[in-house]
Amino acid sequence: MQLDHPGAIDTSPLTLRDVPEPAPSPHQIRVRVRACAVCHTDLHITEGDLPLPRLPVIPGHQIVGIVDAMGSDAKRFQLGDRVGIPWLYWTDGTCAHCLRGDENLCDHGRFTGYHADGGYAELCVVDEDFAHPIPPAFSDEHAAPLLCAGIIGYRSYRMTNLIAGGKLGLYGFGASAHLVLQLARHQGHDVYVFTRGEGHRALAKQLGAAWTGSADDKPPHELDGSIIFAPAGSLVPLALKTLRKAGTLALAGITMSPIPEIDYGLLYQERILRSVANSTRQDCREFLQLAAEIPLETRVRSYELDQANQALSDLKHSRFDGAAVLRVS
């Protein structure tokens, strides 16, 4: 499914096209896509909320598939191996950020389904160092949401610096939050979920949330850390109000509506407000191993590839719980 020109998702801007098969360069592998999960970032790309570095482009960055061709110098995988391709597509390895271990902030970083064609397709290529083995515990469709919703959720979760037995707030309850809740519960934390949807609240309770409510509600305890997954800046002051002294509020989205003016008292007492940008390969390796050990349960709704516009529309309008996944081949 290719994007030639961005537009409102309900106008079906993605079109099914025949395009030339990509050939791997010397250090690349080619992957025959089996499943690709659908992400809010795909929606932002499709609707033009993000500046687009190229058009046309094939979105999709939560890719699970089989290695079906290898470049002349590719040695890491074998034909037939099952791999995942996340948002982080390539980094230069030489800029100041990469040398500090912050490759997620690489000055010349490239991202899957944005700078390079992604997984809303039968085939895609990637440098072998930026592909990851998929744990056998997960089917293709249930593994796909781990590759962005899971990894970004994991990085955001780590950024909250929870103490043992901490209290974690989650604002918005979609693909990322339903995985973070399970991870936090597994590690002994109590989770408080803020969401409008009754179905989302029911799922949160089923997965072990200690409390659910709306963003305007006051939870029964101060929170040690919180994550905002919804791209709504208006949630920031509400979330800061529920945070204990020296607590951390992490913003997990790639874009967000304007944050309103806030009283300094909401930040005072050493509260921390920080954004979360992309992820590293180490994040991916750690999270996939942890996800298999727990194991995490991914809730998915499946669509065929030619239903990508519908899947993104359903995501935008919160018509399902968990994650949407495209079945490709």
Tens-binned pLDDT, residue by residue, of the chain (329 aa): 999 999 999 999 999 999 999 999 999 999 999 999 999 999 999 999 999 999 999 999 999 999 999 999 999 999 999 999 999 999 999 999 999 999 999 999 999 999 999 999 999 999 999 999 999 999 999 999 999 999 999 999 999 999 989 999 999 998 899 999 999 999 999 999 999 888 899 999 999 999 999 999 999 999 999 999 999 999 999 999 999 999 999 999 899 999 999 999 999 999 999 999 999 999 999 999 999 999 999 999 999 999 999 999 999 998 988 899 999 97
Tokens standing for residue 199: 């179905």
CB distance 134 to 288 below 8 Å: yes
The total number of residues written for the chain in this structure: 329
Q: What is the dihedral of CA 139, 60, 31, 75, to 10 degrees?
A: -100
Tokens standing for residue 120: 């809303």
Read off the DSSP letter of residue 141: H
* pTM over the 0.85 mark: yes
Tokens standing for residue 168: 């974690």
Cis peptide before 295 (omega within 30 of 0): yes
Surface-to-core class of residue 135, CB atoms within 10 Å of its CB (0-12 exposed, 13-18 middle, 19+ buried)? middle
Domains located in the chain, CATH noted = 2-147+279-327 (3.90.180.10), 150-275 (3.40.50.720)
CB distance 295 to 21 below 8 Å: no
Picking from 88, 93, 6, 2, the residue whose alpha carbon sits closest to that of residue 47 is 6
Strand-pairing partners, residue 33, are 65
Tokens standing for residue 188: 């002994």
